[in-house]
Every structure is written in structure tokens, then in C-alpha cells.
Chains A and B, each alone.
Chain A
């Protein structure tokens, strides 16, 4: 029987299956960060359990770390305790950690691929919903809760039920100025934030195949915003080339054997999908979110929706609530939305190609005088690479702040946050109420669109700035 890529990875990791379908799945790679792990390590300690495979586990502090000068450590007391706790736990249980002073430190979903820890055909978990990012490598990667983190630490397995197969095909070529961020925003707008609930999404089609490795990560990253826990893409030569020679990638004979296995990782012809959606790349435009859910998308040429046109009472109420929170009026043009801040970074758009895309727009330009803008590279290595290419100078010359790596204002757990009613064009992944700071207003955009907004001082069309 023909199988999907998800079926194949699933079958390859089955340790046990009960009659009711509950399965025990082997976990090849476990990423750990400071926010969702302390209670899990504490649980191990209380039960006298060990980490079963410390070598399959990699830890980093990213959510709480300051993005300004780190020489004096973390000033927030609680953040410091959490980061110190991770360090102590890693030492006690023998888990490898990239500390705050290590240049390999960065956002957990950026360092996994960077180090070659992320590999095709593996099951990868992390106590973080954006773990789906790693699906770009053809791995089954998903976010778990802290109890499950403890379960994986203790057993290197996870109790799971099989999800449904959902395929999203994107065919064609993207218009100039349109990026993979716009593709995923368009997809979420189409399927809704619960559209993928209970499913694993495979992204396919010639547009997806034409994307770079990093662009694919942006798409898989936001799969959770469509309700699916995991999104994946069949790995190809681009992926193998990206991984070759990375510090934790297989070496020598192992590399040859791994390649042989990886090349077979794709859905069979005729494999059955429970759900399928098709998009034409040519029809995708630069997108923004206007509301407080990632499904609240319009194109940059569009207008803010009018609740009066909505017949469904629940939807109407939720539109009104979102407009009220966002401080927007119905039918207003997207380009008339004035912004206060710009944030470029996060596990969605904090990689080198994202920074290049924004820098290309910002070169020899100044940001609007009322805008406060910052770039937070996804990792120390991304930062180093960008500095070698002189991107930091382009950002600084245009008026951006150039920061140290971390999650930063994507979730505002550290000092980087919006004040009430401040409005931000952000390359992150969530525009929830209060996400970037209490009362803060978030518009999700691509890195190029964030750069365009910084220059114009309002949400703007990146195509205007294309050479």
C-alpha cells in the first residue's frame, strides 16, 4: 500500500502499539529550553530517574535571555533563576548545553538545523510549539508539553496517536517581493487556525520544491498557527547539501548510509491524504495580519474587514473584539496603518536569508523618524555571518538596533516588549492579544515588508522598494 512521508516516519519509530491505537514512538532528537523544562527535570529528580539518552538531547537558553549587552548577565531575577536552573539541570543530567556566552547559542529551532542536530526522517520534539520548523528537513517534528518533556527525558519515547494526513500543494512561481512568509500566512488565512487540528501537514508542489532550505523552515514553522502540530516537506538535494559537514551531521560511512536512507523519504505515488488543499503561487501577494489571530490576514492592497458584513454572530463578535483591541476601523486601507515599532527576528524569520532580504530593502535608506526598529538575529552564528557580510552596518545606518540573539520580542519574555497600544510590524509568528506586551498591537509580515514598514512609518508594499 502506498504510504505518505508521515506514515513512513511514523512506522519507522513504532516501539509499541496498543489495540486501541495508542502508540509508543521513539524520539531521535530532543531539544530543551529553559522555560518548559525545569518542572520536567524536577520530576525526574523526585522519581530518581535519569535522562535515558543525554546524547540525543540538546539544550539552550533562548526565551529569557537579554538581547542587549550580556557582560553583566541577566538583570531580571526570575529570568536569571530559570536560565541558571537550566544550566544546573544540564550539568546534573549530562545534557549538552549552549550557554549564553557560546556563539552557538540562539533560538532552539535555529540552532538545531545549524548544528546538523536536525536530520531527515527523525522524530524531533521540544517543549515548544514551533518545533514544526524542523519539518523542513523531512523530519516529524512537533511541540510537546512539560509532562511530555519529562516522559521523553526518562524514556526517549512518547505516547502518541496517529494523526491524519493533510497535503497542501503550492504550484507555480511567486511574484516579485512575495516570500515564503506570505505563502504560510495565505495558507493559514485559507484553512483557519483550527484547519489543521488533528493532522500532520505535508507541503508539496513545485513552488515548495523551489524554495531554499531556510524559506521552507519559515513555512513549516508556522504550521502550528494552522492548528497542525507538525508540517513537513520531503527532503531533497538542497537539504542534504545544507547538512553536509555540519558539526552534528553524520560523518564518513554514516553520512553515505544516511544519504541512502534520506533519499527514499517521500510520499509514494498514490498515497492517500485525508485532506488536500491547492494554492497557486502566482496569486499570492505580500500579506499582513490585521487582527489578533494569525488567520486574520489581508493583502497589503487590502482593507480592514467590516463586522457588519459578517452574518455569523460568533464571527462578528470576534471581529469586533479584534478591531477594538487593535485600535482599527472597518474598511481602513492596510497601507494607512501607522506603526511605532519594527521587530525583525524569531524562529520564523531570524535566519541569515531573512536578514539579507530586509537589508536589501534598507540599503542606503533611513527608517521613519518616529519608528523604533530592531533586528535580533536567530543565533550567534547568524549574527556572525551577517556581520561578515556587513548587514549589521546596513541595519545600523538605516536606524535599526543590532541586538544579541534570542526569542526577544516574539513573545516578550525578556525586556524587549511593546507598551500598551504600541503598534509593531513584526516578522514573528503570533499576533495574539498581549503577545508582544500587554496591550501591544502586532502585525505579522515578512522581513522585506517589515523593512518597508520601517522606512515608510506605516505598513507598506515591499514591491515599491524592489530594484
Chain B
């Protein structure tokens, strides 16, 4: 997995609440058997018209936001379907940090598996940061210090320590879990004797 430590970018601001994963990447693009190549279809229905032409007013179609690495959005971002195609599409577009006042659980988890940092801040801070998007000024994200620096200000955020470590070091959590094979084996042994029906033996 791609590591995440610091990031500097002009943020793009999408002031919509409850952005669901259907909106982030509609179903017609879920037919892929790859993880890559979804960036061009990110926010497809807001981004292109019926004829496939870019809608100029949509934020990610505008310069400099078409190069933004940070997305600021309304609360409950990533709700709905569990599709990991949503973070894959963000990543492929170049967005590796999403800032919102809340995230849906599955999307939040999926971000950390793909080197994307979701940051939760309160609505007032979101409003302040969105001004940087409006003025096309850069903000700076530091995962290690758990803070966002903007102008002469900074705001702290919280990340789960284990997820932070995985993101900073780009760790493969399957390998980490397989390091606990002995514990898994011993659990399975107990399970077989206590609840044999689970294995249908």
C-alpha cells in the first residue's frame, strides 16, 4: 500500500451532505476486475453531461481543482454501498485526503486500506478550510503530527493509532494478521471442539 505522511495541496470543496458511494462511482464502473483506471469516472454523473462532455461548473473539472489532492465535503461522506471502488476512484484521480465532519464506517475503513487519509473536523473548521479552496490557496496535512496547517493557523485531528501506523508505513495488514497464525490456529482448535457445527464436521 502507498504510504501517507504529509500532503500539500489546494483543496477542492464539494459542499454536499450525505455523498454516497453511488455518487462517487456509479455502478456501471463496478464491472471492472481491476483496481485502477477509475479516476476518470469519479463523480461521473456530476462531472459529465448525458453526452459525456465535462460539466464546466463542477469543481473537479475546474483548474486548479482538477489537480487537488485534498477533497473537503459535507457530513456523512461515503455512505451507502461498501464498494471499495469509491476510494480506488479517488486515489486514481489523485485525491489522497478527504476532510469531512463525519464519514460512513465502511468507506472510512476502506480509505485506510488504500493509502487515503480521512480527516474528521467540526463544521466550523470545515468552513474555515473551505475558504482556502475558494481562494485557491494551499493547505498542509501532517499525519504524524495529526494536524492540518492553513495560513498561520493549525487544527488538530485524531486518527486511530494502529491505522495511523499502517498508513505511515504503508503496511500490508494481511501479512500483519498472518503473523498471528499461531493464535488463529489455536482459536480454530477451540472452535472445533466447542462449536463443531461451525465447520459442519
Interface, chain A (partner B; CB < 8 A): 15-16, 18, 20, 22, 24, 26, 28, 35-36, 38-39, 42-43, 47, 49, 53, 55-56, 63-64, 76, 78-79, 81-82, 85, 119, 122, 127-129, 143-148, 150-151, 154-157, 159, 161, 193-194, 197-198, 224, 227-229, 248, 250, 254-255, 257-258, 261, 293, 314, 317-318, 321, 411-413, 420, 430, 432-435, 438
Complex-state Cα separation, A258 to B201, whole angstroms: 13
A-B contact pairs, 27 of them (CB 8 A): A16-B180, A24-B184, A26-B187, A35-B30, A39-B33, A39-B34, A39-B84, A43-B174, A81-B33, A119-B197, A127-B84, A128-B82, A143-B82, A144-B106, A145-B83, A145-B110, A151-B173, A155-B174, A155-B178, A197-B76, A227-B76, A227-B79, A314-B17, A314-B74, A321-B16, A430-B81, A432-B22
Count of inter-chain pairs, beta carbons less than 8 A: 177
In the bound complex, CA of A155 to CA of B184 (Å): 8
Contact B162 A20 (CB under 8 A): yes
Please name all residues of chain A whose beta carbon is closer than 8 Å to the beta carbon of B26 when the two chains form the complex.
434, 438
Residue of A nearest to B161 (CB): A20
Q: Which of B157-195 contact A (CB under 8 A)?
A: 160-162, 173-174, 177-178, 180, 183-184, 187-188, 191, 195
B154 interfacial contact with A, CB 8 Å: no
A129's nearest neighbour on chain B, judged by CB, is B82
Contact (Cβ within 8 A) B173 A433: no
- Choose from B31, B113, B200 the contact partner of A250 (Cβ within 8 Å): B200
Chain A residues within 8 Å of B50, by CB: 420, 438
B198 contacts A28, CB within 8 Å? yes
From the candidates B35, B84, B102, B199, name the one contacting A194 in the complex (CB within 8 A): B102
A15 to B191, CA, bound (A): 11
Question: Which residues of the partner chain A approach B106 to less than 8 Å between Cβ atoms?
Answer: 129, 143-145, 229
Say yes or no: A18 contacts B162, CB within 8 Å. yes
A-side contacts of B18, CB under 8 Å:
193-194, 293, 318
With contact pairs A143-B106, A197-B76 given, residues A85 and B33 touching in the complex (Cβ less than 8 Å): yes
11 new A-B contacts, CB < 8 A, other than A39-B84, A227-B76, A430-B20, are A39-B35, A76-B31, A81-B31, A144-B82, A148-B113, A154-B178, A193-B76, A194-B79, A197-B105, A229-B106, A411-B27
Known contacts: A151-B173, A430-B22. The answer to whether A438 contacts B82 by CB under 8 A is no
Q: Is the CB of A49 within 8 A of B196?
A: no
Q: Which B residues are CB-close (under 8 A) to A82?
A: 31, 33
Q: Are B76 and A433 in contact (CB under 8 A)?
A: no
Can you list, as one digit per residue, whether each of B101-131 has a CB less than 8 Å from chain A (1) or not (0)?
A: 0111110011001100000000000000000
Q: How far is the CA of A237 from the CA of B86 in the complex (A)?
A: 41
Question: When chains A and B are docked, how far (Å) is the Cα of A128 from the Cα of B162?
Answer: 25
- Cβ of B200 and Cβ of A49 under 8 Å apart? no
User: Please, what's the 1-or-0 string for B49-69, where 1 marks a CB less than 8 Å from any CB in chain A?
Assistant: 010000000000000000000
A428 CB, min distance to chain B CBs, angstroms: 12
Known A-B contacts A28-B198, A155-B174; the reply to A432 vs B23 at CB < 8 A is yes
Report the Cα distance A48→B161, complex, angstroms.
29
The smallest C-beta distance from A107 to any residue of chain B, in angstroms, reads 14
Interface string of B72-101 (1 = CB under 8 A from A): 001110011111100100000000000000
Whether the pair B184, A15 counts as a contact (CB closer than 8 A) is yes
CB distance from A130 to the nearest CB of B (A): 9
B32 at the interface (CB under 8 A from A): yes
Which of A122, A128, A193, A261 has its CB near the most chain B CB atoms (within 10 A)?
A193
